Structure 1
Amino acid sequence: MPHTDQIQALSEFLLEYATTLMGAGVHTNRAVRNISRIAAAYGYAADMTIFQRNITMSLISTDDENLRRTSVRKLKPLAFNLNLIQQLSELSWLPVDNNVSIEEMERAFRSIAATKRFSPWTDLLLVSVGNAAFCRLFNGDIWAMLTVFGATLLGFLAKQQFSRLKFNPLGVVILSAFTASMAAACAVIFQFGETPQIALATSVLFLVPGVQMINSIMDLMHGHILMGISRGVHSIMIITCITIGLSATMLILGVNSL
């Protein structure tokens, strides 16, 4: 393959790879390592700047520094997918270990990207069960756990539907938190069990951006300051929206404390 065609094909592939990897929820340093590993296997050095919304990548030939290409691509707003991150990270070793062509890498990437996630109904059930388990960790009784399960079911269903309708992401968080907490507030009003306040407090925990908060800290620790700050600020905005939704429920129903 001529050098100009090769660097163009590799650049397009790496941008698609990078945006998919970042959209799946990986921390920035891991994405940089994977991309640099693939680029080095084909004889190029990769310099990149990754932000919350886009990535700028420059490929430079290690044999001829005049052969270079700089491209910009918008990041994909995907859902966190640990399985996808693992498979894409393993893919980055393929050209190192087996000396495959860029076309083969693209085919392997398409196969991985086409892997189906859990169905929305499976996500709904698992998230509800997980949030009920969080309630138990905070010493909620069986009635509180059942309340949180039902509240999370409604809140996460609302989140799925509002997201499908392309509502503002922060507005989706507020409405989802309000829906879940309003359902859980029934336990406080009718005094289900001995720990109804715990049910109300934990009903919105499924919305907490735990992965994004961890990635923010890891980015800061590895020197990706702007990305770390961006993720941290976005996490704070999401937590603020959760608080607004929960506070609205407490104000409407006159619940004074958790």
Structure 2
Amino acid sequence: MASKQRAVSRLIAQAGQMLLAHGAESTLVGSITQRIGLAAGVDEVEVSLSASSLVVTTVKGEHCITTARRSPDKGLNMRVVTEVQRICIMMEKGIFDYQLAQHKLNRISPKRYNRWLVVVMIGLSCAAFSRLAGGDWAVFIMTFIASAMGMIVRQEFGHRHFNPLVNFAITAFVTTLISAQAVIYDIGSHPEIVMASSVLMLVPGFPLINSVADMLKGYVNMGIARFVFASLLTLATCLGIVGAMNLTNVLGWVQ
């Protein structure tokens, strides 16, 4: 019985660790871990979350086991989140036992889209914003080039596991440096729109949404931690933009 409870506790901790590391909101992490534990046969599951770790306690009869796991941020990946949810549902339906669930959990991998597809789509999305802001096709093309090149830089630094703050600052610097050429050479009807639109890919929307959701649902500490991290990413982006503007002596959309 004790060995089964230890295995279930590890299963719960690993599931929570994966959810937290890949961008799930705190309420979802707490709910899924508790449901997995109850489906696996323990009497009670308690989960305590922090910005980079979680503590799981399971109770079975009079026996209590507590385990802690670090959960460093591994980037947003909804495939991992949905796969963990699917395992939870299968356990609740009785299709998976805790051993099969552990096997399935170990096989989950954070698959990502082709990097060049991401580059093209990011470039098109930022360029579309430039058109919505009133830019012509020359502005559209310059925005596409600047944001696509910036995304390549972001991917390269991310692949080499640089600090996200450094990554965002350098990406913003390179993107603004390229987009400033539209203002310098007066490309398009409103070249300053290029500078504003090309850095929109660096807006940390998901962390900000999660931070507000966490605070509204009672996870105030988690919400504050996520809000501070999103704010730091925004600050790093601003530093990169300002640095490129000072280097090129182009104020662009600040004017």
Q: TM-score range by the shorter chain?
A: over 0.9
Secondary structure at the residue paired with 1:93?
helix
Q: Alignment partner for residue 144 of structure 2, among 146, 149, 162?
A: 149
Greater shift after overlay, 118-127 or 204-213?
A: 118-127
Q: Is the 8 Å Cα contact of residues 79 and 111 (structure 2) preserved in structure 1?
A: no
Q: Alignment partner for residue 80 of structure 2, among 79, 84, 87?
A: 84
Aligned-partner Cα distance in 2 for 1:244–1:123: 25
Q: Is the 8 Å Cα contact of residues 183 and 252 (structure 2) preserved in structure 1?
A: no
Aligned-partner Cα distance in 1 for 2:135–2:78: 29
Aligned-partner Cα distance in 1 for 2:170–2:232: 14
Aligned-partner Cα distance in 2 for 1:228–1:120: 30
Structure 2 residue aligned with 1:108: 104
Q: What TM-score, normalized by structure 2, do the two folds share?
A: 0.93
**1:88-135 deviation line (CA, Å, top 9, x unaligned):** 222211111125211111222234x13632122222222222222232
Structure 2 residue aligned with 1:58: 57
5+ residue gaps, structure 2:
none
Q: Is the 8 Å Cα contact of residues 17 and 69 (structure 2) preserved in structure 1?
A: yes
Instruction: Kindly provide the amino acid, as one letter, of the partner of residue 74 in structure 2.
Output: L
Deviation at 1:167, TM superposition (A): 2.4
Aligned-partner Cα distance in 1 for 2:130–2:22: 27
Structure 2 residue aligned with 1:205: 200
Instruction: Kindly provide the amino acid, as one letter, of the partner of residue 211 in structure 2.
Output: S
Deviation at 1:257, TM superposition (A): 4.2
Q: Is the 8 Å Cα contact of residues 20 and 76 (structure 1) preserved in structure 2?
A: no
5+ residue gaps, structure 1:
none
Aligned-partner Cα distance in 2 for 1:57–1:29: 15
Q: Is the 8 Å Cα contact of residues 180 and 252 (structure 2) preserved in structure 1?
A: no
Secondary structure at the residue paired with 1:68?
strand
Structure 2 residue aligned with 1:129: 124
Aligned-partner Cα distance in 2 for 1:141–1:14: 53
**1:136-187 deviation line (CA, Å, top 9, x unaligned):** 3333322222112111121111112222333222111110100011111111
Aligned-partner Cα distance in 1 for 2:184–2:151: 22
Greater shift after overlay, 245-254 or 225-234?
A: 245-254
Q: Alignment partner for residue 231 of structure 1, among 193, 216, 226?
A: 226
Deviation at 1:56, TM superposition (A): 1.1
* % identity of equivalent residues: 24
Secondary structure at the residue paired with 1:249?
helix
Structure 2 residue aligned with 1:73: 69
Structure 2 residue aligned with 1:161: 156
**Equivalenced residues, count:** 252
Structure 1 residue aligned with 2:251: 256
Structure 1 residue aligned with 2:3: 5
RMSD: 1.6
**1:204-253 deviation line (CA, Å, top 9, x unaligned):** 11111100000000000100000000000111111111111111111111
